[in-house]
Structure 1
């Protein structure tokens, strides 16, 4: 009997077993390592960033009302992004596409589910935001070109006019844009075709500063706000008075007040010079009812209401931009900068006990 050969054979068998066992064991460890190191990405929803969505319905840039949007996203119009420091809510709207209600313009925008009456109001909206894009095209002579509305007060009743619109506007080639706000008259009588806006500058210019030619632009505002630069607004309506506050780092804080229940535009002689030049010349020469927005339910809006559209300026030189819409193709519009995009970091809403359901507004406009 050859003891040496048996011992050597046994050793080889045991060595082979050890190699196989060790290889299997390492493979198992490697598989376990791969499983344990696999990163699970959690979706951050808008309602995680600003938890106030029970007070709103969301209108998307395709005209649809998707209702209350806790734990919701839509990658075309409404989602979140992180800039390396903070999470933000992204509102995005193309120049052309399906719109909500009777508007000519697309919007991705929150609309308050309750309405309140200015005379008895104690209601407030605050927001911190930055505008990331406005339309790359549009007739520079049209006041609404290259602009987006980032906050509103809207009437739910009768003419459904807007006592407040907060704008951001920047011309192509400029580094800085303008922030301004509008008051739209609540037109006297049943014919609302004569309605007009009065614009007030916050930083930079007001609505009336336009280009002399289709593709020429006015001087860049020295105290303007750049794309990506944060600013905040506060809107408070109490006992019929609207109080506005605008703040931004390295800019002067600006405050304004406006009476919403007693008009200052009840006769043709009251129409401001700015309005004479912008609106009266195209036939929008109405006057306001004496009680302004008294007795009408009003509500807040917040988001990206794109003011640039593809309609011909011949239809209205203030609101019809003649911009590129690629026939409503959203992907193409996003690819070449023909859209509005606004990011919100913080926001809050205070709703008075006297506020009531705004469902009738949605029923009429959805």
Structure 2
């Protein structure tokens, strides 16, 4: 055979082998799991965590929850390519401050005064679970608070609590909000709430027996159904806006610096039904919350607990707690769980440190 032909054939063979080798080496490698396994923190999802301290369902204050998670109480999930921040709180566990109830909740690190306020909080969320047990006659059973305005001073009462509540066996639950009076005098045991329905019922709609439930609300919100709340306090007036696809947008206002409950004659019928029979029949300071430093809260403040309804028919649910065993409560639905998709806070320049509130409450079980 001609030497030139042999040499050419050899070169072609070597070239083919080289191309095959390159082809093998350029076969796409399996992607590294390092990127997909990377933890997505709450502070990656909603970038406002420098404005809050996080209280967990075991009563602890973990401070600023930046690049932080706790798989029992506070973490993120991805659903249909959307990241959500999960707040979870059992029916029973260590509590924060003087409350009977557990919470996994953000508390604002600054406080502001309603008369000079120009402060806002907005959030989009869905409630994924409320307690499976609880006395149906107790107004707080099967409920969770998902947003608040709280006082940092004196009685530390709450001019706003936003509730979600759903009875077992119902598809739809209710969203409603509360105003708690800033009780006149030193006896805060006389305080009471006034409840206003947004979608569904208000707080006062309860069962006739421990396991007998009222009719399901026709215009309620289901577990897993998104809704948005906007809270604005400006020049002493609180404005609330609630929005959800397929539901009427609702707007409310409340004066925080001038009370409408300064005499016993001003006590509304709802309060006479719920609170007066158990001795909570106080009146409010004429100037309401004018002198109080206020701050926002956001998360899952579980309203269902294991305390006996004989103690307080409005707030003590008698629910299952498994002796405080958190995992057992999670296993059979005795907890509150709320997912937040978005959140935004706006704080006026007159706001001041809220450290005094934390110093007072972090050491109380």
TM-score, with structure 2 as normaliser: 0.91
Distance between the aligned counterparts of 1:182 and 1:296, measured in 2? 18
1:163 and 2:159 are equivalent in the alignment: yes
Superposition deviation, residue 85 in structure 1 = 3.4
The answer to whether 1:245 aligns with 2:241 is yes
Out of 19, 31, 51, the residue aligned to residue 37 of structure 1 is 31
Give the SS at the match of 1:193.
helix
Offset of residue 33 of structure 1: 7.2
Aligned length: 339
Give unpaired runs (5+ residues) of structure 2.
1-20
Distance 2:78 2:53 in 1: 24
Structure 2 distance, partners of 1:283, 1:189, is: 15
What residue is the counterpart of 2:3 in the other structure? none
Partner of 2:303: 307
1:190 & 1:139 partners in 2: Cα distance? 31
How much has 1:38 moved relative to structure 2? 3.3
1: CA distance between counterparts of 2:128 and 2:169?
15
Q: For residues 83 and 33 of structure 1, what CA distance do their matches in structure 2 show? A: 29
Structure 1's consecutive aligned runs of 4 or more residues displaced over 6 angstroms after TM superposition are none
1:193 and 1:93 mapped to 2: Cα distance? Answer: 26
Aligned pairs for 1:1-366 (under 5 A) are 36-40=30-34, 41-366=37-362
Equivalents in 1 of 2:224, 2:310: separation in Å?
Answer: 33
2-structure distance, mates of 1:133, 1:127: 18
Q: Distance in 1 between matches of 2:163 and 2:104?
A: 15
Summarize deviations over 1:135-194 as a string: whole Å, max 9, x none: 000000000000000000000000000000000000000000000000000000111010
For 1:20-78, what per-residue CA distance to the aligned partner results, in whole angstroms no more than 9, with x for missing partners?
Answer: xxxxx9xx979x977x5332211110001000000000000000000001110000000
CA distance in 2, matches of 1:224, 1:103: 28
Distance 1:179 1:53 in 2: 26
Mark the runs of 5 or more structure 1 residues left unpaired by the alignment: 1-24
SS in 2 for 1:200: strand
Question: How many angstroms apart in 2 are the aligned matches of 1:55 and 1:293?
Answer: 22
Secondary structure at 1:179 match in 2 = strand
Larger of the two Rg values belongs to structure: 1
Cα RMSD, aligned residues only = 1.5
For 1:149 and 1:38, locate their aligned partners in 2 and report how far apart those are by CA, in whole Å. Answer: 41
Find the residue that maps to 2:190 and give its secondary structure: coil
Measured in 2, the distance between the counterparts of 1:163 and 1:83 equals 34
Equivalent position SS for 1:47? helix
Q: SS of the counterpart of 2:189?
A: coil
CA distance in 2, matches of 1:84, 1:252: 26
